[in-house]
Amino acid sequence: MKHKTSHTTTTQKPRLVLPIFIALILIFSIFGIIFSSPSPTPAPSGQSGTLDYQGHIFQQTSQGWTATINGFEAIFVYTPLDLRNITLETRALTDLRTAEKIYLTRNPQNTYYGAERDFFVNLKPFHNVFFACTEDNTACTDQPIKTCDDADSTTMVVRLDLNEHQGAAYEPSCFTITGTPEHITRVIDAHVLASLGLM
């Protein structure tokens, strides 16, 4: 009686290579978001890369505008002077200060200028901030899907939505910002600055 001998095929190796390759792309994408540096706004006229705004010193660097809060160096694309025309949503500010978890949900296949970096890097030292996705796609294999339906009294969802129409809408524990990448970054910077007491 003949027995079939099993041969290990080389198709098992490509099956492992693809998930590892995708995981590396996702990991490096997150580092790219955190360490990417959109161009900071120019210094106000008469200033030489330093801005004193209500007792807070902002220093212009190649990465953006920095200011120290509680011993931590925060970084922003925009200064408070650039954001004077942004209307702050006070309920969103309250949630930014008090939520146990904050999810920044977006489509990671899109680019949001400096909004992701400014939100995550500046709030992470003080809050439980996490990246999430608005929909399931290949860039979201290691991030949860979060929508406004997931927001509650302890969990805030901040949703970024690229759109030609600019706006910001608040519903209980969910703050949706729509518009161009630059507009979204301006609204994010204004709310993060205000939540940290820098504006």
Condensed to tens digits (0 to 9), the pLDDT of residues 86-107 reads 999 999 999 999 999 999 999 8
DSSP state, residue 83:
G
Q: In the predicted model, what is the mean pLDDT of residues 1-26?
A: 59
Is a pLDDT exceeding 80 seen at residue 26?
no
Pick the closest to residue 129 from 106, 158, 107 (CA basis).
158
pLDDT at 140: 81
Distance CA 173, CA 124 (A): 18
On the question of pLDDT at 84 being above 60, the answer is yes
Could you give the CA distance from residue 189 to residue 199 in angstroms, rounded to a whole number? Answer: 10
184 confidence band (pLDDT: 50, 70, 90)? very high
Q: Is the pLDDT of residue 43 over 80?
A: no
Q: How confident is the model at residue 23 (pLDDT cuts 50, 70, 90)?
A: low
Question: What is the pTM for the complete model shown?
Answer: 0.74
Q: What is the CA radius of gyration of the chain?
A: 21
∠ CA 73-100-28, nearest 5°, is 55
Residue 155's alpha-carbon distances to 44, 55, 72, 120, 175, in angstroms, are: 37, 32, 24, 16, 12
Is the pLDDT higher at 65 or at 108? 65
Q: Which residue has the tokens 């790219």?
A: 32
- The pairing of strands 56-60 and 65-69 is antiparallel
Here the tokens at position 7 are: 């041969």
46 vs 19: which has the higher pLDDT: 19
Residues comprising the chain, all counted: 199
Query: Angle, to 10 degrees, between the axis of helix 115-123 and the axis of helix 12-35?
Result: 80
* Predicted local distance difference test score (pLDDT) of residue 114: 87
Beta carbons of 87 and 140 less than 8 angstroms apart = no
Q: Enumerate the β-bridge partners of residue 157.
A: 103, 174
C-alpha angle 189/186/34, rounded to 5°?
55
